[in-house]
Amino acid sequence: MEHDGINSEQAAECSVCGLHYTQEDCGGGGCPRCDEDDNETDEQLRDKWLAEFQVEAHAKFTAGIEEHNPDGTKGIGRMTVEQLAREMKNEAVDQYFYACALERAIAIRAGK
Ligand SMILES: [Zn+2]
């Protein structure tokens, strides 16, 4: 019985954490280390990530309101187009360096 390239003779590599595991290790389920099912469909991933986004985005945006607009006199709806463009560029810079750090961590984990 084959499950995403895993069978009794050959180890599979978890697409999430990179662990090599055998069918015996996982009992036919997902990765035993990270407990992720790397056979989730795109629709399952979409729904899971959208649900996470709703929770996390609400919390982050609310924290931003409390930090930057506690008395309701400022806020994203009052920012100028120049301020919005500047903040989008700042976020893009942060994202780039987060991606670099993630790439580095993946390489370190892989022993490269
Ligand atoms: Zn894993």
- Judgement on whether residues 95 and 62 belong to the same structural domain of the protein: no
Residue (of 1, 7, 39) closest to 21 by Cα position: 7
- Judgement on whether residues 50 and 29 belong to the same structural domain of the protein: yes
- Write down the pTM of the prediction: 0.61
Q: What is the pLDDT of residue 6?
A: 54
| Token output for 63 | 């924290």
- Judgement on whether residues 94 and 56 belong to the same structural domain of the protein: no
- Judgement on whether residues 84 and 67 belong to the same structural domain of the protein: no
Percent of the chain with pLDDT over 70: 90
Domain that includes residue 98, residue range: 79-112
Ligand 1 centroid from CA 38, angstroms: 8
CB 23 within 8 Å of CB 8: yes
Residue ranges near ligand 1 (ion) with Cβ within 5 Å: 14, 16-17, 19, 31, 33-34
- Judgement on whether residues 60 and 20 belong to the same structural domain of the protein: yes
Ligand 1 centroid from CA 53, angstroms: 22
Highest mean pLDDT of the ranges 10-14, 26-30, 75-79: 75-79
Length of the chain: 112
- Judgement on whether residues 55 and 105 belong to the same structural domain of the protein: no
Instruction: State how many domains the chain has.
Output: 2
Ligand 1 centroid from CA 20, angstroms: 8
- Judgement on whether residues 17 and 52 belong to the same structural domain of the protein: yes
CA 97 to each of CA 47, 103, 112: distance values in angstroms, whole numbers, following the listed order? 28, 10, 19
- Under 8 Å CB-to-CB from 87, ≥6 apart: which residues? 79
Ligand 1 centroid from CA 96, angstroms: 25
Ligand 1 centroid from CA 46, angstroms: 19
- Judgement on whether residues 17 and 47 belong to the same structural domain of the protein: yes
What is the SS3 assignment for 38?
coil
